[in-house]
Each structure stands twice: as C-alpha cells, then as structure tokens.
Amino acid sequence: MFDVKSVRKDFPALRSQDIVYLDNAATSFTPEPVTDELIDYYHRNGTSVHRGIYKRAEETTRKLEKSREKTADFIGADSSREIVFTKNCTESLNLLAYSFHHWSEKRGKILVTEMDHHSNILPWKIMAKGSDRFELEFVDVTRNGRIDMEDYENKLSPDTVAVAFPGVSNVIGAYNQVKELTKLAHDNHTLVIVDGAQWLPHRKFDIPEYDVDFLTFSAHKMLGPTGLGILYGREDLLERMPPPFGGGEMVRSTTKEETTWNDVPQKFEAGTPPIAQIIAFGAALDYLNELGLSAVKKHVDSLTEKAINLLSKIQGVEIYGPKEGEDRGGLVSFNLKGVHPHDLAASLDSIDNIAIRAGLHCAQPLHEAMELNATSRASFYVYNEEGEIDRLARAIREARKIFGGEK
C-alpha cells in the first residue's frame, strides 16, 4: 500500500480548498508530474510533430511516440502501432462505429448492453439508423445490475458482427466477465469491443489475457489531462479499417485523382494531435506504474468497502450493485429515500464541500432496467482517504435531517 498523505501532496487541486472529491469516475485530478509535462511542452517545445526536420520538432516527436510506447506497454499490446490517440473514449467508439459502417462486409447485428454508457450506445445507434445492413440489439441486464449471460448467449448468432460492452459499469461499479463474454463472441466469429474507461484507472487490463479486439479508455479518468482518448485495436483490423477523418498526416499521398492512406496509427490521427496531452499522459502512466496498479486497486477497494459499510447503516439509504470484493469497482451508487439525488448532491456540497455525482450518469437504459429515476454516486481514487468516507456518511446523515427523514 502506498502512503496516501504523500500522494495527496502531488495534487495541486487538493491544496486550493478543503474539498472531499468523490467524483473520480467522471474525471480525476492531475498530479504535478503530469502538469509539469504540460507546462514543459508549452514553455520549452511548442512545436508540431512528425513533420519538422529540425532538432526541437524531432525531440517533440520522440516524446510523443515514447508516450505511445508507454501506452502499449501499459496494456500489453503487441506494438505501439496498435495505439490510436483520439479526443476521448467517446470519439474512439464513434471512430469504430464509423469504420464498421464503411468497412464490415457482414450484414447483421451489433450487440450492446443495457448497462452501457451512452458513449457506447449512441454511436452504434446512429450507425445502424443510417444503414440498411446493421441492426442494434440490447443484451438484458438483471435486476441486480449484471449482464444477463443467458440472454447474451441467446442473442449471439451467425449474423452478429460485433459486441460492445463496458469492462466496468459506471453506475453500479460491477466488473463484467470480460474473458467469458469475449470467448463466447469469438467462438461465434464475432468481434469484441470493450469500453475500459472505468477499468483502466484501477486495474491491469492485459490484452493477451483478455484477448479483446478493441479497447477504449480516456486519459482524464486516470490522472492524465483532458482532451485525450485511447483506442487499442488489433493491427490487422486497423489496417483494414477506413479512417473517419481526413486531413494532414493521415495520408501518404494525395492527388486530384487518388489518395493513399498513411500507415496505422497515423491513418486515424488527422491533423495536429493533442501533443501536450499525449506527452503528459506518458507521465501519468509513469505515476500509476510507480504507485502500482495492484496497490491502487487495494486502496480503492478498501475505501469502497468502508463506504458500503457506513452508508448501509444509514436509515433510508439503498445501495446498488455488488456489495464488495473483486466484482465491484471503486464507486458506490445509492439513493436516500425521499430525497432526489440532485438535492442530495447539492446538500453534501453545502454541508461539507463533498463532491459526488447525481443523475443518470449517461446510462439511462440501465436506470430504466433497474427501475430507478436517478442515483447518487460516490467514486474513489488514489488520493482519497478513509476520513473522507466518514465525512461523507456524516453529511448524508445531516442531509437526512434537513429533508425531514430524521426527527
């Protein structure tokens, strides 16, 4: 286990005010080693990449490609050519949907789940609506918020082109059975896409172990800068896929009559990339590797277990998802009886500067499947302390009094 008090000193956002930040599933704070890289780029480099033949531009390109290599190593990819930098996880999924629309020779179904974030529903929904070759179908989720494996198997068929599902639910924190889901899909000759936005910040995702075809995640949920997403794709698949955007650097040559695409991954990275963010993301990966993902998960699991234990003792609080252990990620979604999540979130902020998320969390189908109008969500990360969980529980009790739940 790492020293949380020492870790907290690395985060300037925690020095500005006494905030209990429990909205890490939305975005994480950024440590100084990462912001230092951002500043260094703008103060010392400031050049573009892949084009200049002068020393400073070559150094900038070297640092960017080093971050790509670190990203590949972080997930165990065969090559850095399998790492495409995008704007965010959402754009990565949109890129895949566009490419499937224009590339796949198969006709048939795209399977998503009722558990998915809107980012892994809407791109496929838009793609299917604009095509006469594809149909979007949802895999059911059980009342306790787990993917219905029987329904999944029943809906896999010879005309299933791809399945897309989250590694971890951003609402209930449930880790899904990625290996089993992937094997069933591959046995059906179906491609597998995993939304890893909530998995990668806390737990090792090794490509050879999980054997997925595509993986997406975002830098800003794992101590990195905003404006940067990552798409992993098997190189042979990326080679066959058409790019969704046109512009500089993504072509090898173009004339009035013909265009030849560049090699992967540049084929998918049109125009000047987010250079500073990519370089800084390498520093974020260094930081996480130094902490150790196993230690990160152990720390976050401990906070989650404590939160579940304390909140479950508060009258009127209902908690959703797995109760503890390996099946649950680092967040707790709950409701306080008689209090709308928006009202509760505003009250916690007012009572003790506690920041949680409230609403549908861009996952309306899951809320509908679980017959919920909205939920409150507290999510934890490397700089959160046990004392902050105590403050959360006390503030919820105080809010309960305010809203008339306790005389």
What per-residue confidence (pLDDT) applies to 223?
98
Cβ atoms of 108 and 161 within 8 Å: the answer is yes
Q: Which amino acid is at 295?
A: A
C-alpha 292/C-alpha 302 separation (Å) is 16
- DSSP for 33-87? HHHHHHHHIIIII---SSS--SHHHHHHHHHHHHHHHHHHHHHT-S-GGGEEEES
What's the pLDDT at 406? 59
The three state secondary structure string of 261-283 is: ECCCCHHHCCCCCCHHHHHHHHH
CATH number given to 4-24+292-402: 3.90.1150.10
Q: What is the mean pLDDT of each run of 10 residues along the chain (407 residues)?
A: 94 90 98 98 92 90 97 98 97 94 83 97 93 92 88 96 97 95 97 98 97 98 98 96 89 89 92 96 98 96 96 96 77 96 98 98 95 97 98 98 77
Q: Are 173 and 332 in contact (CB under 8 A)?
A: yes
Cβ neighbours, 10 Å, residue 152: 20
Rounded to 5 degrees, φ, ψ at 23 are: -125, 40
Residues with a catalytic annotation lie at 362
Asked if 115 contacts 167 with a C-beta cutoff of 8 angstroms, the reply is no
- List the chain domain ranges: 4-24+292-402, 34-289
- What pLDDT, on the 0 to 100 scale, is given for residue 52? 84
What amino acid is encoded at 313 in this protein?
K
Q: Give φ, ψ of 111 to 5 degrees.
A: -95, 130
Position 159, amino acid = D
CATH class for the region spanning 34-289:
alpha beta
